[in-house]
Structure 1
Amino acid sequence: MLKKRHLLFLIAFMPLFAYSQGMLDSIYQIPEVIKTAERIFKKETAGMKQTEVDTLVLLEKKSVSLSELLSENTPVFIKSHGRGALATASFRGTAPSHTQVTWNGININSPMTGMVDFSLIPVYVVDDMNLKHGASSLSEQSGGLGGSININNKPDWNNKFGLKYRQGTGSYSTYDEFLQVGLGNKKVQSKTRVYHSKSNNDYTYINKSIGNNINPQTGGYINPLDTNKHADWTKYGLLQEIYYRPNDKNIVSATYWGQYADRTIPRVTSFEGDENANLNNQKDYDHKVVLKWSNYSEKGKLYANSGYSHKNLDYTLHNQVPGQGLLAAIYSESCSRSYLNKVSYDYNFSKTFSLKASLDGNYHSVISKDSVTKTGYTEERTELSAFLSLHKNFADRLNLMLMMRQEYVDDDFTPFVPFFGFDFRLIKEKDLILKGNIARNFHMPTLNDLYWLPGGNPDLLPEEGFSFEFGLAYQKKIKRHKLHTEITYYRTDIDNWIVWLPTYKGYWEPLNIKRVLSQA
């Protein structure tokens, strides 16, 4: 059955082959940015809730991580364990695995955990970013019970030669460096970005988790001055883009993104053990490649891409043992590989009616092992998906959209996922829009949920449910200024929500919760 599944997959989808505390930036010239007002009344986005991150914000935040940009400039909640440490996103009260993330059209969520660590993504590698809230993410893929974050790179066809260098220094031996070289003409463009970031991150603080003595005057605890130890990080990466435009109807591109990160993980602030106990370290090795082809015609667009994502994650926990030195209590090595392919076609029958259809084929493999405890797992997953959306405009007052998605994961069909959305213009020729949608969505358990040892639960059911949202949006351009405001009510009702809980067995285990309701 496994060989048969691989054969079907290959036949169906052949690959298409710093910000820091007290930072001081060097002076550089910002290129001209032309930003026009985006229309909010489009049939292709009827009923959808979207957030566009302004290009000026991306320029301003070039030296920080994506986690910092999202927490400061979007309604997404970022759960961060400190600068340089794990940072995950949560839309509308959902779990981090319910946020789907794409880079240049391919999904970059870990097939093991289903999450993305946004502290590892520098804003420096992002040219364009948008957020799709709730069921609006179905236009990209299923599984985004909370929403999706979509980041992209774009060429500058007017660029002939460009060289940019940016450097930042900050407290606690923090250094950031960024270099970009661009070269090209009207047919070919090449852009190379390299970056490096490091910090000791050893700041001091009053540790209120520890009380050593009693203050005789106040009767309260005396909290010691502590140092944030074992929290340093080093990160460097390369982003290479090549674009080729043989004529006005075709664009071919190849993009590579490689990154290495090495960071120690600080102990809990209440730790009062030996200085050489509970020493944590994590290393991340990432390689991603995307090949794209876009063909434009008078009424349509044909789009195809093929991507490969490879990640190695090594985590170690060491303790000092008298007479033996530092010994590993955990030595975990995980490797995941993903092959991601997509073909889509947009067609406009007229100015008032259009459709979009796409086929996706993805294959994931994971090898995880701990050489100390002799545990681990080797698993794989094949995903096939068919998508169709229809968009209709009536008299420039009403937009309707119907999306449908059906997936086949390993040997089973997943629940059919529909989406119906509408936009109604309340005042003729004014952007005062009443909008809403109703949709079904689902999320498969991650490979760690099913197979992690110890604790994985192969009997887990997929998370599925229905969502509804209703809102009012208004936009007006006043000379050089644009006013945009929006209010939305949403309700998401999910069955079989997966949550990891401690058990009497001595380890955590994922279980399905009967029902979770999220509304605001």
Structure 2
Amino acid sequence: MDIKRSLVLFLSSYGCFLFGQEKAVDTIYIFDSQMNKVKQFHPIKVINTEDVQKNSGNLSELLRFQSNLYIKENGRGAVSSPSFRGTSAQQTAFVWNGININSNFLGQGDINNIALFGYDQIGIKAGGGSVTYGSGAIGGSIHLNNNLDFNKGFHGSLFSEVASFDTYNNFIKGSYSNDKFSFKASANYAVSANDYEVPEFVVGSTSFKNINGRYYNTTFNIGAAYKITKDQTISWQNQVFDASQHYVIYEENGNRTKYKANTLRSLISWDINKTNFSNSLKAAYTEDNYRYFSDINSLKWSGAEGKNYIFKNDFNYFITPKININAIGEFQVNKAEGYDIGSVSRNIGSLAGMIRYFVSKDLRFEAGIKKDFVEDISSPVLYSFSGKWNALKWYHMGGSFSKNFRYPTFNDLYWKPGGNLSLRPETSFNIDMDHEFNFDDFKIILSPYYMDIKDYISWLPTSYGYWAPINTYKSEFYGIESQVTWNKSFGRHNLKINAAYTYSKSMNKDTQKQMMYVPLHKATGSIDYKFNFLKVYAQGLMNGLTYTTADEKRSVALEPYFILNAGISADFLKKYTLGFKVNNLTDTVYQTVFDYPMPKRNYSIYGTINF
């Protein structure tokens, strides 16, 4: 690889400050061009493909055990939503390859209707990020990223799993690349009868069984990139997702319902990368369609169809090796049609500018400003300021403050009856800090935070007999996230220990009560041991007392619980892996949503083939 190309990669990866020795690396095309810049100022937890296989049931399970988020799931595989630092699901942004994919109808992502497999990495960023990633990036953002590399030849893999409750999960992936062209495709199919029982949990006079809990989902991903010249690349990423969920009932003769979701995401990008500037021009089309069947045997349904047309340009220029400016422009057309909202459309535009100053290899700053233009909505000017200082060899610190927002959804504005065209956007003020300590094989990260959100949008009952959204109370969030990592290799042995703890205080300022479904305490931990061809792991999750009502009613609060998972796998002939997992080894009875118990002890066996 030539010196110019190496320098470009060095700049994009290490903060664009000219220190150290250049290093030639294989060219990798990353669809989210902002991610490397964000990593320079904020810690990002990255979940790789190997970690995904530990919690392969669904995205909810993965985030529950491998992040600080609280996941609210109406039983395994059913409706599921995240809570970042005590905020709501609408205040968490899902970002697919740099594009915000929160639903235009609900303003959130239903986690179990988002594919788990098919990404090269899943990133989790806590704290405000609306300047970069738009509406909803208040509590944090979840990044579903793909990349394409060159000069790698052909690679393929097959993952197949059989688990309790008649669950089957299959994933196949293949890729090919040379010095000019790169192609990657994958497919995943998961299906489960999901008929688990929890005898200790009694509903009325009957022990709980997850009747009508069946689900399935299918995902196809295709990506391709072509180098027009050594400095220019054109690329395409496409995802098709189809899913069906049957909603649980408590009696065999109850009314059986189901929900079908279909999403399409397609993104084309033209990227120019030179020594002192880069430009990424993207055009995307997304669809978000759903159908609800009040009787699974009937052809009648209610639902809506949404379509989004997105154009985005990201220009990055180095005035000097120490000063970098970044301008981002975006325009969207959002269209939707449904029985409950009619036929609606709106235009959205935004302009953002950022400047980064790299004082030295140990000190850097970033300032950003953004203005959104949302049709018929008055949007605030947003801003952010971040800094990172490597104060000592063993101590790094960072901090940021920002203003973020979330504009009302189509359901908030147009639902019949109840839609409110007078709603104001939610706005937040965020302060985040990070303290990182490194002692040989130990790493400790402490991240205190504070958020203040006003004009909170809540759906409340009206005197007319229906519910309607209004801007209600102000809310306050503060706490601390912590993480400890220890990684040690000795001979053919490798031991890795991760532990994380989160304290989340979130209050309605009017009542001074804790917000619903926000545990004060959550802790996760994992131990991974590898010897030669053998791997063993254990995962633990502790969740504290969680209130399910606004008045902190103790009788309907979710009791604290502890869950332990474990697994073992072995590699054969460098191409084959066979593994066995036990989920909820402790056989704990627990809920993440009131009256929807999760499965007790369950098992799976899986195999992978690499070729």
Same fold per TM (> 0.5)?
yes
Question: Residue 361 of structure 1 corresponds to which residue in structure 2?
Answer: 331
| Inter-partner Cα distance in structure 2 for 1:122 and 1:395 | 41
Residue type at the aligned position of 2:328: S
| Inter-partner Cα distance in structure 1 for 2:62 and 2:141 | 16
Name structure 1 gaps, 5 residues minimum: 1-32, 34-41, 213-223, 320-325, 370-374
1:88-103, aligned counterparts within 5 Å?
88-103=81-96
Kindly state the Cα deviation for residue 334 of structure 1 after the two structures are TM-superposed. 0.6
SS at match of 1:310: strand
Kindly state the Cα deviation for residue 464 of structure 1 after the two structures are TM-superposed. 1.3
| Inter-partner Cα distance in structure 2 for 1:360 and 1:378 | 24
On the 8 A contact 2:341/2:411 being kept in 1, the answer is no
Residue type at the aligned position of 2:473: K
Change (3 A) 1:162 1:469: closer
Residue type at the aligned position of 1:317: S
Post-superposition Cα deviations, 1:50-75, rounded to whole Å, max 9, x if no partner, equal 32314364453484422222111111
On the 8 A contact 1:295/1:301 being kept in 2, the answer is yes
On the 8 A contact 1:48/1:132 being kept in 2, the answer is no
Kindly state the Cα deviation for residue 101 of structure 1 after the two structures are TM-superposed. 1.3
Question: Residue 506 of structure 1 corresponds to which residue in structure 2?
Answer: 465
| Inter-partner Cα distance in structure 1 for 2:151 and 2:54 | 24
Question: Residue 443 of structure 2 corresponds to which residue in structure 1?
Answer: 484
The farther-off stretch of 252-261 and 43-52 is 43-52
| Inter-partner Cα distance in structure 2 for 1:148 and 1:43 | 15
On the 8 A contact 1:289/1:307 being kept in 2, the answer is yes
| Inter-partner Cα distance in structure 1 for 2:408 and 2:322 | 39
Kindly state the Cα deviation for residue 443 of structure 1 after the two structures are TM-superposed. 1.2
SS at match of 1:69: helix
Kindly state the Cα deviation for residue 209 of structure 1 after the two structures are TM-superposed. 3.9
Change (3 A) 1:203 1:45: closer
The number of equivalent residue pairs is 446
| 1:348 paired to 2:318 | yes
Question: Residue 423 of structure 1 corresponds to which residue in structure 2?
Answer: 388
Question: Residue 457 of structure 1 corresponds to which residue in structure 2?
Answer: 420
| Inter-partner Cα distance in structure 2 for 1:383 and 1:294 | 24
| Inter-partner Cα distance in structure 1 for 2:414 and 2:85 | 28
Question: Residue 493 of structure 2 corresponds to which residue in structure 1?
Answer: none
| 1:519 paired to 2:478 | yes
Kindly state the Cα deviation for residue 302 of structure 1 after the two structures are TM-superposed. 0.7
On the 8 A contact 1:46/1:401 being kept in 2, the answer is no
Aligned with residue 66 of structure 2, among 73, 77, 91: 73
Identical pairs, percent: 26
| Inter-partner Cα distance in structure 1 for 2:298 and 2:361 | 70
| 1:286 paired to 2:283 | no
- Taking structure 2 as the reference length, the TM-score comes to 0.69
Aligned with residue 353 of structure 2, among 388, 391, 405: 388
Change (3 A) 1:137 1:357: same
Kindly state the Cα deviation for residue 411 of structure 1 after the two structures are TM-superposed. 4.6
Kindly state the Cα deviation for residue 456 of structure 1 after the two structures are TM-superposed. 1.9
| 1:305 paired to 2:276 | no
SS at match of 1:92: coil
Change (3 A) 1:115 1:43: closer
Change (3 A) 1:466 1:59: closer
Post-superposition Cα deviations, 1:429-486, rounded to whole Å, max 9, x if no partner, equal x25223222221221111111111232222222111322223322346x4xx5x4322
On the 8 A contact 1:83/1:119 being kept in 2, the answer is no
Post-superposition Cα deviations, 1:72-99, rounded to whole Å, max 9, x if no partner, equal 1111221112222122112111110111
Change (3 A) 1:411 1:504: closer
Question: Residue 494 of structure 1 corresponds to which residue in structure 2?
Answer: 453
SS at match of 2:295: strand
Question: Residue 159 of structure 1 corresponds to which residue in structure 2?
Answer: 152
Residue type at the aligned position of 1:338: N
| Inter-partner Cα distance in structure 1 for 2:91 and 2:286 | 20
Question: Residue 431 of structure 2 corresponds to which residue in structure 1?
Answer: 468
Residue type at the aligned position of 1:314: R
Residue type at the aligned position of 2:235: S
| Inter-partner Cα distance in structure 1 for 2:288 and 2:38 | 34
SS at match of 2:189: strand
Change (3 A) 1:47 1:241: closer
Aligned with residue 196 of structure 1, among 184, 189, 206: 189
| Inter-partner Cα distance in structure 1 for 2:351 and 2:309 | 17
Kindly state the Cα deviation for residue 257 of structure 1 after the two structures are TM-superposed. 0.8
| Inter-partner Cα distance in structure 1 for 2:146 and 2:346 | 28
| 1:125 paired to 2:122 | no
Change (3 A) 1:459 1:474: same
On the 8 A contact 1:62/1:124 being kept in 2, the answer is no
Kindly state the Cα deviation for residue 153 of structure 1 after the two structures are TM-superposed. 0.7
| Inter-partner Cα distance in structure 2 for 1:293 and 1:414 | 30
| Inter-partner Cα distance in structure 2 for 1:343 and 1:80 | 36
| 1:398 paired to 2:363 | yes
- Taking structure 1 as the reference length, the TM-score comes to 0.80
Change (3 A) 1:504 1:488: same
| 1:315 paired to 2:292 | yes
On the 8 A contact 1:43/1:399 being kept in 2, the answer is no
Kindly state the Cα deviation for residue 509 of structure 1 after the two structures are TM-superposed. 2.0
Kindly state the Cα deviation for residue 183 of structure 1 after the two structures are TM-superposed. 2.7
SS at match of 1:457: coil
| Inter-partner Cα distance in structure 2 for 1:392 and 1:259 | 41
SS at match of 1:135: coil
| 1:440 paired to 2:403 | yes
On the 8 A contact 1:48/1:136 being kept in 2, the answer is no
Aligned with residue 86 of structure 1, among 79, 88, 94: 79
Change (3 A) 1:226 1:149: closer
Question: Residue 414 of structure 1 corresponds to which residue in structure 2?
Answer: 379
SS at match of 1:50: coil
Kindly state the Cα deviation for residue 141 of structure 1 after the two structures are TM-superposed. 2.2
Kindly state the Cα deviation for residue 207 of structure 1 after the two structures are TM-superposed. 5.8
